[in-house]
Amino acid sequence: MRTFAPAILLAVNLCSLPTLHAQALRSEQNTSTVSAVERADREFAAAMVKADVRVIENMLAETYTFTDPTGRVSTKKDVVDGYKSGAIKIESHDISDVHVSVYGDAAVETGLLTTKAMRDGRDSGGTFRFTRVWVSRDGKWRTVAFQETRKQ
């Protein structure tokens, strides 16, 4: 019986290698995806500060929805038109305390946003908790939803 114990342990360990390899691969892919989402977020933030309408338009999904702290809902068209007309002006857009969870071709990003901004001639800046949803289409991450809540 004792002579079989090492053989059984070896067999069990060999059987678990494919599972361990798959877990390591998923972890590596997840880390890569999180990094890609974080890069996309930095690119989007820079475009908003520069009012680069071309980049903003390309990074917003067609079904994009923004819910601001007052409950106002804006579509992709509303946001793009706001940048084009100058109704939306972002002086700074800094995020911290970021956490990204990946779900296949979608990712949910949460964090803390500190911004200096104007919308429709009113100060819309401050410190907010936010949730942004991203989807990957054709190898590019696009934001489909953003919601911010003023931090108390």
The pTM for the full model equals 0.78
Per-residue pLDDT for 114 more than 60? Answer: yes
HSE at residue 1, side-chain half, CA atoms within 13 A, is 0
pLDDT value for 4 = 54
- In this predicted structure, the answer to whether residue 25 has a pLDDT above a threshold of 50 is no
The whole domain housing 50 covers 4-150
**For residue 14, pLDDT beyond 50:** no
Instruction: Scan for tokens 């940048």, then name that residue.
Output: 83
Alpha helices in 4-138 (DSSP H): 4-50, 53-59, 76-85
- State the CATH number of the domain containing residue 135: 3.10.450.50
Helix, strand and coil content of the chain, in percent to the nearest 5, comes to: 40, 45, 15
- DSSP labels, 21-39: HHHHHHHHHHHHHHHHHHH
Q: Write down the pLDDT at residue 61.
A: 97
The domain tally of the chain equals 1
